[in-house]
């Protein structure tokens, strides 16, 4: 334990993301209030909550894009924010961060260079990730000619480029049709089985059911963390949607 943080007990070795009493305020409004949470290695952890409950804010604190006003965030044992960690996780933001005037391939090449991917390996990874999101036929199109769903898929491909240990996805399947959504989930489950830890937010209940564990956020408080089955058992319900209503999670937008 570091002398500078005497009050924080060490997290378990299986913990990939470790939040201790994390608080975030905007002005005098507390948007996240004392969140303590461990995400375990090799699990898919889903964050659910009504619109405005704090999911994206929490994701941004985990990635180090934003900084907490109180508490401590660790990823892979490192205190966040930490620039060097960018190499170790993949992040898909809620709004696509793409260069519209460039082609998909040029976007991928740009991000590959940030991850020091070059030569044959770079091309191999570009082919692989664009295959996952079914965009291989559109590699040379400018992103400005992409639909909203295609842009989401390209953003997902970019987050996978460097085969990160941790994948952080903010509403990854919004605007994606059900067939492709299924194939993306198949890929997420494969990545999970290969040891990748995945943290995502979703508004889709059947996606929540596919997560190993779910955290329910309401008004900046983490009100429940458990597996979908355990949450249903605890609440005496048969669907995640009903479990959330019982737990006071409200209905998703």
Ligand X SMILES: Nc1ncnc2c1ncn2[C@@H]1O[C@H](COP(=O)(O)OP(=O)(O)OP(=O)(O)O)[C@@H](O)[C@H]1O
194 part of the interface to ligand X, by CB under 6 A? no
Q: Which conformational region is residue 54 in: left (phi greater than 0), alpha (psi within -120 to 50 degrees), or beta? A: left
CB of 55 to ligand X, least distance (A): 4
Applying CB under 6 A, which part among 54-62, 69-77, 116-124, 179-187 lies near ligand X?
54-62
Cα–Cα distance measured from residue 155 to residue 170, given in angstroms and rounded to the nearest whole number: 11
56 part of the interface to ligand X, by CB under 6 A? yes
69 part of the interface to ligand X, by CB under 6 A? no
Instruction: Rank residues 54 and 164 by Cβ distance to ligand X and give the closer one.
Output: 54
Cα–Cα distance measured from residue 105 to residue 194, given in angstroms and rounded to the nearest whole number: 26
Residue pointed to by tokens 């979908």: 228
Cα–Cα distance measured from residue 113 to residue 163, given in angstroms and rounded to the nearest whole number: 14
49 part of the interface to ligand X, by CB under 6 A? yes
Size of the residue set binding ligand X (CB under 6 A): 10
Cα–Cα distance measured from residue 87 to residue 128, given in angstroms and rounded to the nearest whole number: 19
Applying CB under 6 A, which part among 50-58, 84-92, 134-142, 227-235 lies near ligand X?
50-58
Cα–Cα distance measured from residue 52 to residue 126, given in angstroms and rounded to the nearest whole number: 35
Instruction: Rank residues 130 and 216 by Cβ distance to ligand X and give the closer one.
Output: 216
Cβ neighbours of residue 124 under 8 Å, at least 6 residues apart?
A: none
Instruction: Rank residues 135 and 200 by Cβ distance to ligand X and give the closer one.
Output: 200
Contacting ligand X (CB under 6 A), which of 13, 51, 140, 194? 51
CB 35 within 8 A of CB 71: yes
> Residues 199-219, buried b or exposed e (16+ Cβ, 10 A)?
bbbbbbbebbbbbbbbbbbbb
Q: Within positions 13 to 42, which residues make up the interface with ligand X, using CB under 6 A?
A: 26, 31
228 part of the interface to ligand X, by CB under 6 A? no
Contacting ligand X (CB under 6 A), which of 15, 43, 53, 176? 53
Would you tell me which residues interact with ligand X (CB under 6 A)?
Answer: 26, 31, 49, 51-57
């Amino acid at each position: 334990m570091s002398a500078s943080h005497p009050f924080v007990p060490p997290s378990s070795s299986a913990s990939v993301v470790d939040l201790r009493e994390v608080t975030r305020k905007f002005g005098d409004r507390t948007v996240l209030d004392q969140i303590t949470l461990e995400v375990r290695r090799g699990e898919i952890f889903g964050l659910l909550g009504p619109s405005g409950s704090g999911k994206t804010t929490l994701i941004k604190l985990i990635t180090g894009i934003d900084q907490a006003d109180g508490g401590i965030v660790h990823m892979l044992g490192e205190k966040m924010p930490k620039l060097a960690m960018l190499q170790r996780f993949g992040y898909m933001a809620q709004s696509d961060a793409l260069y519209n005037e460039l082609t998909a391939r040029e976007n991928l090449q740009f991000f590959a260079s940030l991850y020091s991917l070059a030569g044959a390996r770079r091309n191999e990874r570009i082919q692989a990730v664009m295959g996952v999101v079914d965009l291989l036929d559109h590699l040379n199109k400018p992103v400005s000619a992409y639909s909203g769903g295609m842009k989401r898929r390209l953003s997902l491909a970019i987050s996978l480029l460097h085969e990160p240990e941790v994948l952080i996805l903010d509403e990854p399947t919004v605007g994606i049709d059900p067939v492709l959504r299924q194939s993306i989930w198949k890929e997420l489950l494969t990545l999970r089985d290969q040891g990748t830890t995945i943290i995502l937010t979703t508004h889709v209940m059947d996606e929540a059911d596919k997560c190993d564990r779910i955290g329910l956020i309401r008004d900046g408080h983490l009100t429940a963390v458990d597996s979908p089955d355990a949450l249903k058992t605890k609440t005496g319900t048969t669907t995640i949607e009903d479990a959330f209503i019982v737990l006071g999670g409200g209905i998703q937008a």
